[in-house]
Structure 1
């Protein structure tokens, strides 16, 4: 076991700048996932509406989507390290504002604060992801992304599990305070890291002084580089269905399992474990990057099949198992598409590439959650039937990907596809 973990231990032990960026991610993510159930609890406490619960997710996603194009330009135009520190401080202050919500009349604050918070997240996320190739070597890059995904999953699991219990037994105010502290500690670690960056020349800065010029230049880069566009579409295609399925786990925990925040914490913990395990196993099954685009379609089909089964279960144990299996596939899709984008995108465009990917991802998730919440609000389908419908749509999406998208990967340059063969850790 130690031999299998050694590459990751060496990465964290020997690469000081990656370690600090990684620790910042762990701390801020824990606060995020620890606190999100408290937001859900506030909405359920003061409204009890499935539509309003779904709306908070839609507000998050649309805020991210609306600000992503400009955020991508900003992360390529300015110093990413400095931007991440500013975003952490801003998000920490905003989260404290959620403590003011004490009645149904003030519930609108949750949506406003969440929307502004996501604007800063739209800058932070592409800045962080774009920085990973700059603090790692070529050989370290895949391990760095797998470790980041696994850490996200572990923190997601523990954060959601603890968050469910903390929300139920400690109250939402304390949870929001812990979330604020996590952002501030994250900023300290990023401040101590050295993060190289290829900056725009004076001529490029003059050319891109108009943000719209820089934004459209990023879109043109994706349009003209299909080997980059394909992995940029992967997360959005996946989340067109799985976004709604993850949202519906909130309703399942409340109305089917009758376990409230505790049940949701367990289901989200299963989701997190699967997301962490998946990329490690996916790397062993698909060792060459030339097979990763095809693998993404297979992962969509597998994930849809797992949710088809989960939609008819009533046991928290068995449902958790199939949710775990489903998100092993989604985690593999996430890491593979991220690594391909990091390898195939030059540093000067990387922020805009990742922000465009984030735009597609958030729009797809917003649409899927909106449709699912409307179906449930107006009782067009039961919760089980709605989950089954979106699971089947995910299977169809995967089939389309295999038929239409994957075959075009052969047109990419050989050096892009086969430049690095991934060896299993030993």
Structure 2
């Protein structure tokens, strides 16, 4: 057991800059997941509407999507370390605004604040992901991403579980205060890190001085480099269905389990555990990187089947188990696609590639959540029927991926003279 975790311990112990970036991720992610249930609790407290609950998720995703193109341009053009520091500070101030929501007439403020928070997250996330290859060696890159995903899942698990109890016992105001403090601490760790970056040349900066030209340049690069495009599509394809399924867990906890924030915290904890275990297991199943794109299709099918079981489950134990298994597949898909993009995209394009990936991801999630929320709000289908449909669509997405996307990847490797 010790030998299996030694590479990760050595990475954190010996790579000081990665360690600081990693700690910043842990602390800010904990605040995010610790605080999000308090936002849900405010919406449910003052409205009780499935549509308004779904709308907060849609606003969150659409804000990320709207700012992603310009965010990618900014993260390639300016110093990523400084951008991350300022994004953390501003987000810390913004989340304090949730404390002022004290009645139904002020609910609009929740949507405005979440939009602002996500606008700066749209800059922070591609800047952070693009920086990981710059603070690690090629040999450390996969372990760094697996560790980041595992840490995210542990923090997600503990943050959501503790957030559920804290929302019930401490109240939403104190939860938002803690969330704000985590952003400030995260900014300090990033300030202490040295993050090298290959900046645009003077000629390229001049050529892309118009943001629209810079964004278009990134789109053209992605469109003409299919080996980068394929893994870039993986997260968006996956979340096109699983986004709605994760949203419906909120309603499952409330209406099926009758456990409110505590039930949701447990289900989301199962999600987090799966996300952490998945990349380790997935790497053992698909050992060669040139098989990872094919593996993504199998992950989609597996996750769809697991959520189909969730839709027919009655007991918390079985729901938690199937949610965990589904997100083992989701976590594997996330890490593998991230590593492939990091390896294949050059530094001066990496921010725009990851922001465009984030754009596809957030748009797909927004659409899926909106459709599910409308179906439930107008009683077109029951909760279980809606979950079953989205589960089936995820299975079909995986089948499409295996027959359409994976063969193109195999052709690319064969032309490059690589064996399978």
Q: 1: distance between equivalents of 2:418 and 2:7? A: 22
Distance in 2 (CA, whole Å) between partners of 1:374 and 1:212 is 34
Residue in 1 aligned with 2:176?
176
The whole-number CA distance in structure 1 between the counterparts of 2:208 and 2:58 is 31
Whole-Å separation in 2 of the counterparts to 1:246 and 1:405: 25
Q: Deviations over 1:30-58 (max 9, x none)?
A: 00000000000000000000000000000
How has the CA–CA distance of structure 1 residues 190 and 415 changed in structure 2, closer, same or farther, with 3 Å as cutoff? Answer: farther
Aligned to 1:424: none
CA drift at 1:311: 0.5
Assess if the C-alpha contact under 8 Å between 1:289 and 1:418 holds in 2.
Answer: no
The aligned runs of 1:243-254 (5 Å cut-off) are 243-254=243-254
1:375-386 equivalences under 5 Å are 375-386=375-386
CA distance in 1, matches of 2:417, 2:92: 41
Contact map agreement 2:35 2:179 (CA 8 A) in 1:
yes
For structure 1, list consecutive stretches of 5 or more residues without a partner in the other structure: 422-426
Residue in 1 aligned with 2:60? 60
- Does the C-alpha gap of structure 1 residues 67 and 416 become closer, same or farther in structure 2, counting only changes over 3 Å? farther
2:140 counterpart SS class: helix
Counterpart position of 2:280: 280
Corresponding residue number in structure 1 for 2:258: 258
How far did 1:70 drift? 0.2
Q: Is the 8 A contact 2:233 2:360 kept in 1?
A: yes
Q: Judge conservation of contact 2:272–2:324 (CA < 8 Å) in 1.
A: yes
Deviation, structure 1 residue 414: 6.2
1:114-134 deviation digits (Å, cap 9, x = unpaired) = 001101000000000000000
Q: What is aligned with 1:268?
A: 268
Alignment of 1:37-186 (within 5 A): 37-186=37-186
> Shift of the alpha carbon at 1:247?
0.1
1:383 offset after TM fit, Å?
0.6
1:271-350 counterparts in 2 under 5 A?
Answer: 271-350=271-350
Shift of residue 412, structure 1, vs aligned partner: 2.3
Match of 2:355 in 1: 355
Q: Do 2:290 and 2:413's aligned partners in 1 also have CA atoms closer than 8 Å? A: no
Separation in structure 2 between the aligned mates of residue 3 and residue 202 of structure 1, nearest angstrom: 47
Q: Deviations over 1:85-123 (max 9, x none)?
A: 000000000000000000000000000000011010000
Alignment coverage as a number of residue pairs: 420
The runs of 5 or more residues in structure 2 that have no matched partner are none
CA contact (8 A) 2:34 2:163 kept: yes
Matches of 2:265 and 2:413, distance apart in 1: 44
Q: Which residue of 1 aligns with 2:408?
A: 408
Could you tell me which residue of structure 2 aligns to residue 392 of structure 1? 392
3-state secondary structure, aligned to 1:137 = coil
TM-superposed deviation, 1:413: 5.0
Give the TM-score taking structure 1 as reference length: 0.97
- How far apart, in 2, do the equivalents of 1:68 and 1:260 lie? 33
Is 24-33 or 204-213 further displaced after alignment? 204-213
Residues 173-196 of structure 1 deviation map (CA, whole Å, 9 limit, x = unaligned): 000000000000000000000000
Classify the secondary structure of the residue corresponding to 2:124. Answer: helix
Deviates more, 1:197-206 or 1:78-87: 197-206
- 1:201 shift after superposition: 1.4
Distance 2:265 2:47 in 1: 21
Preserved contact between residue 33 and residue 163 of structure 2 (Cα < 8 Å): yes
Task: Report if the CA contact (8 A) 1:69-1:359 is conserved.
Answer: yes
Task: From the superposition, tell whether residues 182 and 46 of structure 1 become closer, same or farther in structure 2 (CA, over 3 Å).
Answer: same
Superposed CA RMSD in Å reads 1.2
Contact 1:344 1:416 (8 Å CA) reproduced: no
Give the CA deviation at 1:411.
Answer: 3.0
Range moving further from structure 2, 361-370 or 205-214: 205-214
Match of 1:218 in 2: 218
Give the direction of change, closer, same or farther, for the CA distance of 1:418–1:155 in structure 2 (3 Å limit).
farther
Give the 3-state SS of the residue equivalent to 2:139 in structure 1: helix
Q: 1:46 to 1:126 in 2, by over 3 A?
A: same
Verify: 1:233 aligned to 2:233, yes or no: yes
TM-score w.r.t. the length of structure 2 is 0.99
Separation in 2 of the partners of 1:15 and 1:337? 24
